[in-house]
């Protein structure tokens, strides 16, 4: 079988590597345009990146060096609620009784935050201290790294600018440039927002998300890298800050119903306290294709969906979408695959929307969200259930989904959404207070004493309690 992947960005490279690894006899080619650049908006991953590396046998140490990567423990939310909070799935806090998250029941009942002091590390690396499966990285260096892996694994990368498509009985027969025609049995559209192969497909808009524009910019490399992505609620949206080993990636996601790009630029200069140079400004329509797979073409990455950079779901969704596709490709089961893919992105949409359940109303933008945000049916249903209890694993069933009950607990807890009296009543029913309190106190004591100092080429983590 011959498969052509149109697009040589992160989505195309990941897709090619996963295809070739799973089905070595498939002939995989990538056609990379000279005119379509890397979007490079997000420089952050979820834990699914580690799943990808493990699946393909990619050494994380090599990735960290080549992609200028830094460690990520989670997302630090600033100014979203009365108190700042961290979304970080620390396995020590996931102790359960049945389907009940006992530790979080204790924390929320007593209004106690996990130990969430700042985490920092310097440029030295020692993988014995690698305590996370998430990373920040330089998108352009990551692209170079993955391209070299593709070439080493017998995946041909062709640089050419495609101009048109030839069809035969509703299937794509070939893709063509001004100088050459490329034939294949199957095609993957990884051409990003251009959607070279899928621009005529039906689009399902996630119009309920309140932002639709973004500016991006870089600032200097941090002296000590945060081990988290910073997400700060601004006047008309939110901004991010992501440390890599050579620079800090930043952006502001906002609603152009309230401000334009120039005003957003000025707001960021005020926030950062110095002049900044905008590298990209773009608008987006959050949503997904109604069908990722039609005939002999599968859309993935930005060709398939865009939900917004919050929670860094783009790369993770590419990986999960490919795992789904690889599962159904041998049987050519389009219908089941499409249904599962739609569920993946509806899951992300619901979870991202939950972040806007904030009580902020200090600007017209946040006041509009607080009073008029229209929630999806899925999210409304979840919230109705969670009025009286904590989210449970069984509440959310999404094959290859990115977010579940633990993720919702983190965000809703940070936004002070839960009715603490009802959560406390549920927690007390288990009658485990003394054991749980001692367990939590022990975790906090370990964290307070865990201060690693810089020594030669060893990672430095400074935890300030």
245 vs 450, more confident: 245
Report pLDDT for 364.
97
For residue 202, give Cα distances in angstroms to 165, 290, 292, 300: 19, 6, 10, 15
Res 338 pLDDT > 90: yes
Convert the pLDDT of each residue in 368-386 to its tens digit: 999 999 999 999 999 999 9
CB 239 within 8 A of CB 231: yes
Range of the domain at 12: 2-69+136-207+287-348
CA atoms within 13 A on the CB side of 449: 6
DSSP readout, 310-331?
Answer: TT-HHHHHHHHHHHHHHHHTTT
DSSP summary character for residue 96: E
Q: Total structural domains in the chain?
A: 1
Convert the pLDDT of each residue in 176-229 to its tens digit: 999 999 999 999 999 999 999 999 999 999 988 999 999 999 999 988 888 899
Beta bridge partners of 406: none
16 vs 223, more confident: 16
Q: What's the mean pLDDT in 14-27?
A: 98
Report pLDDT for 465.
29
Res 280 pLDDT > 60: yes
Q: What's the mean pLDDT in 159-183?
A: 96
Q: What is the CATH number of the domain that holds 42?
A: 3.50.50.60
Asked whether residue 311 is domain-assigned, the answer is yes
Asked whether residue 148 is domain-assigned, the answer is yes
Q: Are strands 75-78 and 229-233 parallel, antiparallel or unpaired?
A: parallel
Res 273 pLDDT > 80: yes
CB 258 within 8 A of CB 364: yes
DSSP readout, 357-413?
Answer: -----SSHHHHHHHHH----HHHHHHHHHTTSS---GGG---TT-S--HHHHHHHHH
Percent of the chain whose pLDDT exceeds 90: 77
Report pLDDT for 89.
79
Report pLDDT for 133.
84
Asked whether residue 358 is domain-assigned, the answer is no
438: exposed, middle or buried (C-beta count within 10 Å: 0-12, 13-18, 19+)? Answer: exposed
Which span out of 52-66, 86-100, 129-143, 321-335 was modeled with the highest average pLDDT?
Answer: 321-335
Checking phi first, is residue 276 left (phi over 0); if not, alpha (psi -120 to 50) or beta? beta
- If you average pLDDT over every residue of the chain, what do you get? 89
Choice among 41-45, 244-248, 355-359 with the minimum mean pLDDT: 41-45
Residue 434 sits at the vertex; the CA angle it makes with 432 and 439, to the nearest 5 degrees, is 95
Distance between CA atoms of residues 403 and 413, nearest Å:
15
Report pLDDT for 450.
53
Report pLDDT for 464.
33
Burial 160-181 (b: 16+ CB within 10 A, else e): bebeeeeeeeeebbbbbeeeee
42: confidence class by pLDDT, cuts 50, 70, 90: low
Res 457 pLDDT > 50: no
Question: Could you tell me which of 311, 144, 315 has the C-alpha nearest to residue 242?
Answer: 311
Q: Are strands 287-289 and 293-294 parallel, antiparallel or unpaired?
A: unpaired
Asked whether residue 309 is domain-assigned, the answer is yes
Report pLDDT for 440.
85
Report pLDDT for 418.
95
Choice among 31-45, 55-69, 239-253, 277-291 with the minimum mean pLDDT: 31-45
Report pLDDT for 444.
75
Res 15 pLDDT > 50: yes
Beta bridge partners of 306: 287
DSSP readout, 165-196?
Answer: EEEETTEEEEEEESS-EEE-SEEEE--GGG-T
Question: Could you tell me which of 87, 89, 84, 345 has the C-alpha nearest to residue 229?
Answer: 87
What is the end-to-end Cα distance of the chain in Å, rounded?
57
Convert the pLDDT of each residue in 94-125 to its tens digit: 888 888 999 999 999 998 876 444 444 444 44
The tokens describing 419, both together, are 């009715």
Convert the pLDDT of each residue in 392-421 to its tens digit: 999 998 999 999 999 999 999 999 999 999
Asked whether residue 19 is domain-assigned, the answer is yes
Distance between CA atoms of residues 226 and 26, nearest Å:
41
Percent of the chain whose pLDDT exceeds 70: 91
CB 19 within 8 A of CB 26: yes
Asked whether residue 150 is domain-assigned, the answer is yes
3-state secondary structure of 86: strand
Asked whether residue 298 is domain-assigned, the answer is yes
Report pLDDT for 123.
43
Asked whether residue 193 is domain-assigned, the answer is yes
């Amino acid at each position: 079988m011959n498969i052509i992947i149109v697009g040589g960005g992160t989505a195309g490279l990941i897709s090619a590597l996963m295809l070739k690894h799973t089905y070595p006899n498939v002939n995989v080619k990538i056609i990379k345009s000279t005119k379509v650049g890397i979007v490079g908006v997000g420089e952050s991953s979820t834990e699914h990146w580690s799943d990808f590396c493990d699946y393909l046998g990619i050494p994380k140490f090599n990735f960290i060096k080549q992609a200028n990567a830094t460690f990520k423990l989670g997302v630090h939310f600033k100014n979203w609620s009365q108190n700042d909070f961290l979304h970080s799935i620390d396995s020590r806090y996931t102790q359960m009784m049945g389907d009940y998250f006992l530790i979080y029941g204790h924390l929320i009942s007593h209004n106690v935050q996990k130990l969430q002091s700042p985490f920092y590390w310097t440029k030295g690396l020692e993988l014995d201290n690698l305590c996370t499966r998430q990373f920040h990285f330089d998108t352009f260096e990551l692209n170079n790294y993955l391209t070299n892996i593709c070439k080493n694994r017998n995946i041909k990368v062709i640089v050419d600018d495609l101009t048109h498509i030839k069809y035969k009985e509703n299937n794509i027969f070939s893709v063509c440039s001004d100088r050459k025609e490329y034939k294949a049995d199957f095609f993957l559209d990884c051409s990003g927002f251009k959607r070279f192969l899928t621009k005529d497909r039906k689009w399902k808009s996630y119009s309920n998300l309140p932002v639709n524009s973004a500016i991006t910019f870089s600032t200097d490399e941090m002296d000590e890298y945060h081990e988290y992505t910073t997400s700060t609620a601004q006047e008309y949206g939110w901004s991010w800050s992501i440390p890599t080993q050579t620079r800090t990636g930043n952006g502001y996601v906002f609603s152009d119903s309230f401000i334009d790009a120039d005003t957003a630029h000025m707001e960021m200069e005020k926030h950062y306290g110095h002049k900044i140079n905008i590298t990209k400004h773009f608008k987006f329509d959050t949503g997904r294709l109604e069908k990722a797979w039609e005939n002999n073409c599968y859309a993935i990455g930005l060709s398939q969906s865009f939900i917004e950079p919050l929670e860094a779901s783009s790369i993770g969704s590419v990986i999960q979408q490919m795992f789904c596709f690889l599962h159904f490709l041998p049987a050519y089961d389009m219908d089941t695959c499409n249904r599962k893919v739609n569920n993946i992105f509806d899951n992300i949409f619901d979870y991202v929307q939950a972040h806007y359940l904030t009580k902020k109303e200090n600007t017209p933008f946040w006041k509009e969200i607080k009073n008029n945000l229209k929630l999806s049916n899925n999210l409304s249903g979840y919230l109705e259930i969670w009025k009286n209890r904590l989210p449970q694993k069984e509440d959310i069933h999404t094959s290859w989904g990115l977010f579940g009950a633990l993720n919702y607990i983190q965000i809703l807890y940070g936004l002070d959404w839960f009715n603490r009296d009802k959560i406390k009543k549920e927690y007390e029913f288990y009658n485990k207070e003394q054991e749980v309190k001692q367990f939590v106190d022990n975790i906090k004591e370990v964290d307070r004493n865990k201060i690693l100092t810089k020594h030669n080429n060893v990672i430095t983590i400074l935890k300030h309690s």
